[in-house]
Structure 1
Amino acid sequence: MSTSAHPFPLEHEPPYLIRITMAGDFDGDAIHALFDEIDQLIGEQPFWLFHVDISELGHASPSARRAGAERIGKTPGYSLVLYGGGLAQRAVSTLFLKVAELFSGGREVVTKFAKDRDAADEWIAAEQRRREAAPSG
């Protein structure tokens, strides 16, 4: 479990997987702290896997949205699955994912909304197998 400066429960499952619960309201500093921790955990990996629970997602300030777009644009290719939350959380997350696509820079970026945690677990496990089997990781 994370002990970092950001408010998000985070678990690392080596080598590639990061599980995050986006909880409460947050600003750009929290997002930068989150990505700083992620960089330390998996920064050298050829791809990243994100498993994100948005059921407790609150308000993301404009600085948080900017920081998220800036930092996600500097990652290697990644697969990201989101689950939980209602219409408002999914709408905010969809906007973030669309902005992140703009910053993909040709990297392989695959995203999915799953119906629940079990479906998210299945999808991210399949993505890990697929990426590990790919010639470039």
Structure 2
Amino acid sequence: MDGTETVVVATTDGDVELLGAEYELTTVAGGGSTDGATTTGGAQDGPQVAVAVLPGGALVVLDLALDDDLRAEGYARDVVREVQDARKAAGLDVADRIVLTLTVPAAAVDAVEKHRALIESETLTTTAHVVAGDELAVAVQRAEESA
């Protein structure tokens, strides 16, 4: 593959088009059953995968299993979206630097801390405060207003 071909994976939720950086081609021999390889999870035992056949005849099998690292990154990206919504609601300019206060469920504090740099860079945060609480709450303030 030269990286310019389009890869589309059929899932039960619809077709998903993949960019070159979103997959890698590997060869796996033995060690596991491919029974039910066209499922996307559910109660079935075995791997959670999606399968696609490319126009050139190649077979693509995507591992859809989620681990703690992927869940943590997903939560952090959800936090980024919430912060961006809070920035917009506060009438901040897209280039404004902010001071951010995040209240997150205790179980999610580690995920936020692990991906703090991502959250700060994506939201132009100069200072972030993370506290444990009952649910996600976001408070933003223009950085120069807090000085």
Q: TM-score, with normalisation over the residues of structure 1?
A: 0.31
Query: Larger % of strand: which?
Result: 2
Greater gyration radius = 2
Instruction: Select the structure that is richer in helix.
Output: 1
With normalisation by structure 2, the TM-score equals 0.29
